[in-house]
């Protein structure tokens, strides 16, 4: 660790695969940061095959990559895989990046779960990032996976110009999150139902869940084969009533005409699923796709979703 830094200044650490930084691995740098110490961890280009864990005791941390495409955090755990001690990881245990701290920021990175989805195994859920914290920012970050790519589970989170790729429930959880000007790509599985973009589990006492604002939804999948989302009730919890809004988005032709669908006995019509002024071949207005009124749309601003927090872009 560098010496002589004033504690009033953010700690600045460099991670590099070539040995020219302060650490070889990102997790080593995270562990070297004192608790409650603001810091910037600058990560040079390279593939970092490791599980990165940001504990709640280390808020005010920034991980900044040198290049969004060439600075890669990756690992290949999956839900059905057994650890060295024989424990099955499960979905929440399969992530490549864990964020439990508040006021965390990630920039110019790729976060990937590289598990081979075509492998013939049980439990194919494989999370790239598991995020739990208040005032989290992800700017120009790629999230790559297949099933369950991004587990935005609790807190307030902001995704700015990110790229998120997957096929089944690949943005899911109970966080209050805004996705602004992001590209959301659904992988073509060659099936009649190619997948579901969201599986929110917003608690009924929370007014807001996910807001997709000015995003672009793309895919090479056939027309009408991907749903905007379905309502996830973890463990059958009736108090998880999903809230997802797509507003001012471009929807490709892969988006199903019905927009939303049911999940595990829970009806999409009972969830809080809405759209507002979307465009593109996948945009449609019908009985199964509830539209916000102009008045109601004003209640779905970034400030409302994020409990009054104004993230720095």
| Dihedral sign, Cα of residue 158, residue 160, residue 163, residue 168 | positive
Only one residue has tokens 């955090």, namely 73
- What DSSP assignment string belongs to 76-131? ---TT-B-TTS-B--STT--SEEE-SSS-EEEEEEEEE---TTS--S-----SEEE
Where b means 16+ CB within 10 Å and e means fewer, 97-110 reads bbbbbbebbbbbbb
67 catalytic? Reply is: no
d(CA 91, CA 145): 13
d(CA 77, CA 90): 9
Alpha helix locations (H) across the chain?
A: 26-32, 294-297, 302-305
d(CA 111, CA 216): 20
Q: Are 57 and 101 in contact (CB under 8 A)?
A: yes
148 catalytic? Reply is: yes
CB atoms within 10 A of CB 298: 10
Among residues 102, 169, 258, 307, the one annotated as catalytic is: 169
Q: Are 267 and 254 in contact (CB under 8 A)?
A: no
DSSP state of 19: S
How big is the chain, counted in residues?
313
CB atoms within 10 A of CB 235: 6
Among residues 22, 76, 116, 148, the one annotated as catalytic is: 148
Residues annotated as part of the active site: 148, 169
């Amino acid at each position: 660790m560098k010496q002589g830094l004033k504690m009033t200044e953010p700690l600045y650490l460099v991670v590099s695969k070539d040995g020219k930084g302060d650490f070889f691995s990102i997790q080593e740098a995270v562990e070297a940061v004192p608790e409650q110490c603001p810091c910037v961890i600058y990560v040079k280009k390279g593939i970092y095959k490791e599980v990165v864990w940001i504990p709640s005791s280390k808020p005010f941390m920034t991980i900044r990559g040198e290049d969004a495409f060439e600075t890669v955090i990756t690992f290949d755990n999956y839900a059905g895989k057994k650890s060295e001690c024989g424990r099955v990881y499960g979905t929440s245990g399969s992530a490549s990046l864990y964020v439990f701290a508040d006021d965390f920021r990630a920039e110019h990175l790729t976060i990937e779960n590289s598990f081979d989805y075509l492998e013939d195994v049980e439990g194919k859920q494989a999370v790239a990032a598991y995020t739990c914290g208040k005032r989290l920012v992800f700017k120009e970050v790629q999230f790559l996976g297949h099933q369950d790519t991004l587990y935005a589970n609790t807190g307030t989170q902001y995704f700015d110009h990110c790229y998120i790729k997957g096929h089944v429930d690949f943005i899911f959880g109970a966080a209050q999150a805004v996705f602004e000007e992001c590209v959301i790509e659904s992988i073509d599985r060659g099936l009649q139902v190619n997948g579901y973009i969201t599986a929110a589990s917003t608690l009924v006492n929370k007014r807001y869940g996910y807001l997709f604002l000015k995003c672009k939804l793309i895919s090479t999948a056939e027309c009408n084969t991907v749903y905007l989302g379905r309502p996830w009730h973890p463990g059958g919890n009736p108090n998880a009533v999903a809230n997802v809004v797509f507003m001012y988005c471009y929807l490709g032709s892969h988006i199903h005409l019905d927009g939303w669908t049911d999940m595990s006995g829970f009806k999409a019509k009972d969830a809080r699923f809405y759209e507002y002024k979307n465009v593109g071949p996948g945009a449609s207005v019908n009985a199964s796709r509830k539209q916000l009124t102009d008045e109601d749309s004003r209640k779905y601003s970034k400030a409302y979703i994020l409990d009054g927090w104004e993230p720095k872009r």
